[in-house]
A and B are shown apart, each in its own frame.
Chain A
Amino acid sequence: MKLYGADVESGGVKLNEVVEFIGVLEADPSADFDAPAARDAAAFGMSESEVAALCPPPSRVPRLHCLLHRRLSATDEVIEYAAAAKEAAEGPTDEGVMAVSSAVASASAASATPIADVPTAGDFASPTRSTLPKGRAMALGALTSALGGDELAAEYVLLAACAKVVARVDGLPLGCLPLHLALPPPSPSGSADHMGDAATMQEEEDSSLSSSRVDGGDTEGSVVKALANCVANLWPRSRYLELTEERLRGQGLLPRKDYATNRLQTTPLQLAAHTVLVVDETRFVLICSC
């Protein structure tokens, strides 16, 4: 990603930001190393392999010369989704060509979604109070269904997922609400079968809603996965993190810098802001009991 002029002066791009770029893609297979960057790297006495790692040729890593960019929040993503759906229904206009092209991905991902009566971005700017109770009721209904009819847990999940840090006092965040949902213990016959039935129902329900759903599994984690699917359907940014032995012993969860490739190795915890993180500890209990 190449930023020029005012884009760099405005602060550029920061870590874990979701940014929308419009620019010119450079993927010239005949091009060699990035000459200016390679020259700078060679000036520090780096070897050829190190220079190649730092400045790979455009044939391997295409460059995008940015003309415009803007940071997107989670709310903006929903607005873009609504705008793209509306324009996809009415047909792209001359003024909205760039907007549609920027939201093609989200619109294509939700191609099965009906686009009638979709509010526009203007509706978002001034949400009517009358539409809020229905939205709240539907959110609670979806969460209640995912949690096996537990209305109290559904309301807690709704509140916890809407929480955000409003201030920090002495390093402690204010406004967030980490929630621990203790699932029922597995029983040999009764509740386990019910949980499996509910999970199957939820999976069938979610199959028509989103393509980025979590695959169903065994009975133990079915409720968690149903909750994760529901959260993924409702919130624009969500992440289902299953704590398993392989994940914890392998790559780990903390991002780390690889100086050999001069790249930051991403991990599941490196997320954009306001991403709802659903952590599944049901399998991790077995590790600790070993």
Chain B
Amino acid sequence: MMVLIMAMVAMVTTIVMIMVMMAISVYKANWGNILSYSLLVAKWLTLSKFSSSSPPYLSCHIFFSLDSEAVAAALADVEGAPGGGSGVTDDDDHRHLSRPAMAGTGSAAAAAAGGGGVGSVSDAMVRRSLAGLRELCQTQELGYDFQFYPMKFKTDHPVLLCSQRRSSSSSSGGGSSQQQQQQSLVDPNACALPIVFNPSAASAASAVDVSDLVETRHYLATVAACPPAPFAPGLDKIAEEDFVRLRQSGQPSGGTAAAAGEEGGGGSEGKEDVSAADFHRWLTLARLICASCGETMVQVVHWQRALALEAARVARLPPRLQPAAAAASNTTAFAGMAGGETFASPATVRTHTTNAMGPPPPPLGAPKQVNGGVANGSPSSSSAGARWALPVHMEGEEE
């Protein structure tokens, strides 16, 4: 009788102590300890039901499985992932989302890692690496992992993405698959340019002389040392008019589907209108052309050259992105730009570069001619310089 009474007193005392500790945990908002104490009470009562003579071992055991999805979700910080890792805070609901690994102090954790597939954990690493590379391309920032906190550092790296188009026969879809072939897997918003490989031209190219290589390096160093060139007076007005005219005409921009989807909501059924991103790319091209020519101010001829480059690039994109009439007639005319002048594809321009396509491109060493077209600042003067198209050999280059 005495033994039974002492056992009951001990049980009641233990329960009271656990309840007090739970109350303290509630006061301190330590939810992990509450979970542990709850499990402890449940386990203690369950075991005492079957053997009241031997008090159970006061401990708490947490068992959870480490499958690939759980670990990947935990690494990617995906909220609400089934069976994730440590707890996360949901700021919207102001609640702490518990995870199986969120246990009280002293809890024994048994993790079954057999469910993870080979390399499944590294998939998160792949995604993080690609996301970092994409961020480097788009925002020129590189995230450093300091384990407890990330930190982004600003970078300045020209990026050239090289991928290989899949053949149309191997692709399963129609237009959408063709479009995806032109996009980079790393940065879908990158300026896409299909390469036209010409073996005869490649074989005819001569080897670069070492002295020429040194001079080429000097040229590139000079270009890199040039400060950002400002726009000539009046050029902003001309560029704005060209942008509005192209946007109203509904010509293909050559931009990516991702950029077009952001701009137009993706409801254009493959027709990519000119967006602000395209305009920004044209301005960037004009600046780069100016810098590559050694000029200190972006002139109209540089702007027209940028538009011509874009026209030639758009002509190489899949027919789905071309105007219907041009695609039907297998021509690559890019009309409606800069006062209605027609920029032809390189294949059609080759026969006109020396005669009827207007004045030659601006020579590198003749700023007078360049400034002559800008001094007026009128669209008429710019349209005269807009006639030359690709491929254009600048003065001083070898024919």
Are the chains A and B members of one assembly? yes
Mark A residues whose CB is within 8 Å of B: 15-16, 74-75, 78-79, 81-82, 85, 112-114, 116-119, 123-124, 127, 129-142, 144-145, 147-153, 155-168, 171-187, 191, 194-195, 197-198, 201-202, 204-205, 208-209, 220, 223-224, 227, 231, 233-236, 243, 248-250, 252-257, 259, 264, 269-271, 273-282, 284-285, 287-288
The distance in angstroms between the C-alpha atoms of A163 and B157, with both chains bound, is 8
Chain A CB within 8 A of B7 CB? no
CB neighbours (8 Å) of B289 from chain A are 159
CB neighbours (8 Å) of A281 from chain B are 161-164, 184-186
Cβ–Cβ contact A248 & B126, under 8 A: yes
The distance in angstroms between the C-alpha atoms of A182 and B160, with both chains bound, is 11
Which of B20-28, B51-59, B65-73, B139-147 has 4 or more CB atoms under 8 Å from chain A? B139-147
For the complex formed, measure the closest distance between the CB of B16 and the CB atoms of chain A, giving whole angstroms.
40
CB neighbours (8 Å) of B215 from chain A are 131, 134-135, 138
The distance in angstroms between the C-alpha atoms of A162 and B292, with both chains bound, is 8
Cβ–Cβ contact A152 & B312, under 8 A: yes
Cβ–Cβ contact A152 & B165, under 8 A: no
The distance in angstroms between the C-alpha atoms of A190 and B228, with both chains bound, is 44
CB neighbours (8 Å) of B137 from chain A are 178
With A74-B221, A145-B208 known, 7 other A-B pairs at CB within 8 A are A82-B214, A132-B293, A132-B294, A132-B364, A135-B216, A183-B164, A186-B167
For the complex formed, measure the closest distance between the CB of B291 and the CB atoms of chain A, giving whole angstroms.
6
Cβ–Cβ contact B203 & A197, under 8 A: yes
Cβ–Cβ contact A257 & B146, under 8 A: yes
Main secondary structure of the interface of A (DSSP, over half): mixed
Can you report 12 residue pairs joining A to B where beta carbons are below 8 Å apart? Answer: A15-B153, A82-B218, A131-B215, A138-B216, A148-B201, A162-B292, A171-B139, A179-B190, A185-B164, A231-B160, A243-B186, A282-B163
For the complex formed, measure the closest distance between the CB of B186 and the CB atoms of chain A, giving whole angstroms.
6
Q: How many residues of B contact A (CB 8 A)?
A: 108
Check A164/B158 contact, CB under 8 A, given A138-B208, A180-B183, A282-B164: yes
Mark B residues whose CB is within 8 Å of A: 119, 122-123, 125-126, 128-130, 132-133, 136-147, 153-168, 181-187, 189-208, 210-225, 228, 280-281, 284-285, 287-289, 291-294, 309, 312-313, 316, 346, 363-365, 390-391, 394-398
Cβ–Cβ contact A175 & B284, under 8 A: yes
Cβ–Cβ contact A133 & B365, under 8 A: yes
Check A152/B309 contact, CB under 8 A, given A249-B122, A269-B136: yes
